């Protein structure tokens, strides 16, 4: 296998395994890693449209719709009118904001376990590389 193929295979495998471990740690708290990605994004950036969330996460619209419906039923998000009648902004509820520190603690613990023996400089290098890859994806 050439280096390029090995790199992308490795990225894919690490991502899958990390998502699996994160799910195992978050499910007892009532959320999945896919929902955490949305919660983290909304907490960081504030209210966003479904399209903005889908574009950022690289998730197809039908999948995003199903996830957001589940999150709405769980009481983690609400939909608010946007500038355009057709567009609604999605925002975290007070319940989600109250649970956020609990979820974040579990995520940080999982990250610490996965990053055990990884140096800060290595993290910086990987962040630079993934940013370049994201830029090339468009």
Q: Over the stretch 66-112, which tens digit does the pLDDT of each residue have?
A: 999 999 999 999 999 877 778 889 999 999 999 999 999 999 999 99
List Cα–Cα distances, 45 to 23, 38, 52, 56, 62, in angstroms. Answer: 23, 10, 11, 11, 22
Inside any domain, residue 5: no
Please count the other Cβ atoms lying within 10 Å of the Cβ belonging to residue 107: 17
Inside any domain, residue 76: yes
Cβ(36)–Cβ(103) below 8 Å: yes
Tens of pLDDT, residues 36-62: 999 999 999 999 999 999 999 999 999
Inside any domain, residue 8: no
How many independent structural domains does the chain possess? 1
User: What backbone torsions phi and psi does residue 2 show, to the nearest 5 degrees?
Assistant: -80, 170
pTM of the model as a whole: 0.88
Domain CATH number, residue 99:
1.10.10.10
Inside any domain, residue 16: no
């Amino acid at each position: 296998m050439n280096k390029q193929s090995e790199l992308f295979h490795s990225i894919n495998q690490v991502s899958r395994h990390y998502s699996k471990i994160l799910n195992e740690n978050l499910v007892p708290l009532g959320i999945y890693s896919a929902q955490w990605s949305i919660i983290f994004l909304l907490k960081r950036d504030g209210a966003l449209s479904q399209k903005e969330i889908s574009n950022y996460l690289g998730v197809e619209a039908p999948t995003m719709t199903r996830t957001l419906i589940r999150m709405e039923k769980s009481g983690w998000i609400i939909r608010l009118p946007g500038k355009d009648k057709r567009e609604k902004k999605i925002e975290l509820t007070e319940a989600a904001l109250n649970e956020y520190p609990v979820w974040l603690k579990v995520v940080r613990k999982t990250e610490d376990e996965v990053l055990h023996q990884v140096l800060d400089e290595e993290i910086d290098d990987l962040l630079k590389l993934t940013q370049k890859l994201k830029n090339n994806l468009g």
